[in-house]
């Protein structure tokens, strides 16, 4: 099992490896010896992993309450949040108790936000079951729900007390859901360095996901430690996301996040390279890694439609927007551009050849 320390306030460990769910009770007993636990999960994950988690937690002596909400991004709203909060109050969970988010990005973001709101903040633990939540969303304390105007528009920063990532859960993922996480992982490789990026070029993600997840988490932990509230460096983690979010929005959220980010990353890499902003050729290498995971590197939505959608992104401030420009593998830069410049940026990288 791999262990990574995230030195935020509070600091916490990320445990990654096979069988972690079965060991979760014994591990948490060391952190919260006398707490009551409430597990929040969704209708896809509950039949697969809720019993394993509950058995381990009750075997460690915990009283465990559970709440299951309907799976899917459409659930990430005030109605589901209110259901979770009412459930926590009915248990009742107190300030010394702990909430557990079992599932993918939706369960983690929403249960994390419930933990941030309930009694003005209680502790919570992330148990990611998808690759996307393992490499990205379970670490770093971003919690949120969606509003009609867009994704993740209401939320809070609250670091978890632990992240327990059982890599056995990845085996049940449909290929397209695994690919969603692969997009965030490849993004991390572009940001981090050649040695992590090489793990996507040599196929390690499929052969040894625990190693790749651990390397991605270690990189993200460092960024979050230096910039917990996304005032500067953490913005780099949004590489490919401005165009990616625009693709998601143009599709009416039919295209899943990771697939949209993959196309956004590819467009951004080609755009940077064609504008002479890169220090070496990178677009073909990035696109090859994405294609190897059956991820898209183009989009059907035209540049003007994407530019309009991207201009409404929550990362816009006034008439400017910060884009993340890949310069080489392991070096990306934040660039403020006028919102009116988005169309040029997207057009430059939109076509594959
Ligand atoms: N998913 C990007 C971040 O946590 O900042």
119-129 tens-digit pLDDT? 999 999 999 99
Q: Which atom of ligand 1 is nearest to the CA of 140?
A: 4
Give the long-range contacts of residues 278-287, CB within 8 A, separation 24 or more.
Answer: 278/326, 278/327, 278/328, 279/327, 279/328, 279/331, 280/328, 280/329, 282/190, 282/326, 282/328, 282/329, 283/349, 285/197, 285/201, 285/329, 286/186, 286/190, 286/326, 287/352
Catalytic residue of the set 230, 233, 308, 335? 230
**CA 325, 330, 333: angle at the middle one, nearest 5?**
25
Count of all residues that appear for the chain in the document: 353
Output the six-digit token pair for 238: 């949004």
At residue 315, does pLDDT exceed 80?
no
**Angstrom distance (rounded) from CA 25 to CA 59:** 7
CA of 33 to the centre of ligand 1 (A): 31
**Higher local confidence (pLDDT), 311 or 26:** 26
Which region among 60-64, 178-182, 237-241, 314-318 has the lowest average model confidence (pLDDT)?
A: 314-318
3-class DSSP state of 171: helix
Q: What would the mean pLDDT of 299-327 be, rounded to a whole number?
A: 92
Whole-number Å distance between alpha carbons of 293 and 135: 15
Assess whether 245 carries a catalytic annotation.
Answer: yes
Q: Residue 30 pLDDT > 90, yes or no?
A: yes
What is the mean predicted confidence (pLDDT) over 256-284? 97
**pLDDT (average), residues 158-180:** 97
Dihedral angle of Cα 132, 236, 239, 16, to the nearest 10 degrees: -20
Average pLDDT for 249-266: 96
**Distance (Å) from CA 224 to ligand 1 centroid:** 8
Q: Which 3 state secondary structure label does DSSP give 298?
A: coil
Sorting pLDDT into bands at 50, 70 and 90, what band is 353?
confident
Active site residue 238: yes
Q: Are 16 and 4 in contact (CB under 8 A)?
A: yes
Model confidence at 166: pLDDT above 90: yes
- Is 308 designated active site? no
Q: What is the mean pLDDT of residues 245-264?
A: 96
Confidence of residue 19 (pLDDT cuts 50, 70, 90): very high
Average pLDDT value for residue range 73-80? 96
The DSSP secondary-structure symbol of 147 reads E
Rounded Cα–Cα distance for residues 254 and 302 (Å): 17
Query: What is the predicted pLDDT for the residue at 313?
Result: 75
Residue 242: CA count within 13 A, CB half-sphere:
31
Where does residue 237 rank: exposed (0-12), middle (13-18), buried (19+ CB within 10 A)? buried
Q: Is 234 a catalytic residue?
A: yes
Residue owning the nearest CA to atom 3 of ligand 1: 237
Which is catalytic among the residues 220, 249, 259, 270? 220
Number of the ligand 1 atom closest to the C-alpha atom of 139? 4
Rounded Cα distance, 329 and 279, in Å: 9
> Could you tell me which residues come within 8 angstroms of residue 305 by beta carbon, excluding any fewer than 6 positions away?
250
Q: Is the pLDDT of residue 89 over 90?
A: yes
Q: What does the pLDDT average to over 111-139?
A: 98
Tokens 């625009």 correspond to 246
What does the pLDDT read at residue 149?
83
Q: How much is the average pLDDT of 273-300?
A: 97
| pLDDT-derived band at 318, boundaries 50, 70, 90 | confident
Q: Is the pLDDT of residue 317 over 90?
A: no
| Distance of alpha carbon 296 from alpha carbon 352, whole angstroms | 11
Supply the pLDDT for residue 31.
Answer: 97
Q: What is the pTM of this model?
A: 0.96
Average pLDDT of the chain to the nearest whole number: 96
- pLDDT of 314 strictly over 90: no
Reported confidence tier of residue 210, pLDDT bands at 50, 70, 90: very high
The answer to whether 341 and 307 have CB atoms below 8 angstroms apart is no
Backbone dihedral angles phi then psi of residue 100, each to the nearest 5 degrees: -120, 130
CA distance 28 to 37: 10
Residue 142: band (very low, low, confident or very high) from pLDDT cuts 50, 70, 90: very high
Least confident of 7-11, 70-74, 304-308, 313-317: 313-317
Where residue 311 falls among pLDDT bands split at 50, 70, 90? confident
Smallest Cα–Cα separation from 248: which of 136, 108, 152?
A: 152
């Amino acid at each position: 099992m791999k262990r990574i320390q995230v030195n935020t306030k509070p600091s916490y460990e990320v445990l990654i490896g096979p069988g972690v769910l079965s060991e979760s009770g014994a591990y948490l007993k060391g952190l919260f010896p006398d707490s009551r636990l409430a597990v929040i999960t969704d209708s896809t994950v509950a039949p697969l992993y809720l019993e394993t988690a509950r058995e381990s937690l009750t075997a460690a002596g915990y009283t465990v309450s559970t709440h299951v909400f309907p799976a899917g991004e459409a659930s990430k709203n005030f109605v589901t949040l209110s259901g979770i909060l009412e459930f926590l109050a009915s248990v009742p969970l107190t300030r010394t108790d702990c909430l557990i988010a079992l599932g993918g990005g939706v369960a983690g973001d929403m249960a994390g936000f419930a933990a941030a709101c309930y009694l003005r903040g209680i502790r919570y633990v992330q148990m990611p079951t998808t690759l996307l939540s393992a490499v990205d969303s379970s670490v770093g304390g971003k919690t949120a729900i969606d509003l009609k105007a867009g994704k993740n528009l209401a939320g809070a920063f609250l670091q978890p007390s632990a992240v327990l990532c059982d890599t056995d859960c990845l085996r049940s993922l449909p290929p397209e859901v695994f690919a969603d996480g692969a997009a965030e992982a490849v993004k991390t490789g572009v940001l981090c360095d050649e040695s992590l990026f090489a793990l996507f070029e040599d196929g390690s993600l499929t052969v040894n996901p625990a190693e790749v997840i651990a390397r991605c988490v270690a990189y993200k932990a460092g960024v979050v430690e230096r910039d917990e509230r996304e005032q500067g460096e953490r913005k780099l983690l949004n590489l490919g996301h401005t165009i990616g979010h625009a693709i998601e929005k143009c599709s009416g959220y039919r295209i899943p996040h990771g697939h949209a980010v993959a196309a956004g990353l590819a467009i951004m890499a080609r755009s940077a390279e064609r504008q002479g902003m890169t220090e070496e050729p990178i677009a073909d290498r990035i696109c090859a890694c994405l294609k190897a995971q059956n991820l898209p590197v183009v989009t059907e939505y035209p540049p003007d439609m994407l530019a309009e959608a991207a201009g409404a992104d929550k990362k816009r401030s006034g008439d400017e927007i910060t884009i993340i420009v890949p310069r080489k593998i392991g070096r990306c830069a934040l660039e403020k551009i006028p919102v009116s410049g988005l169309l040029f940026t997207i057009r430059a990288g939109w076509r594959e050849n």
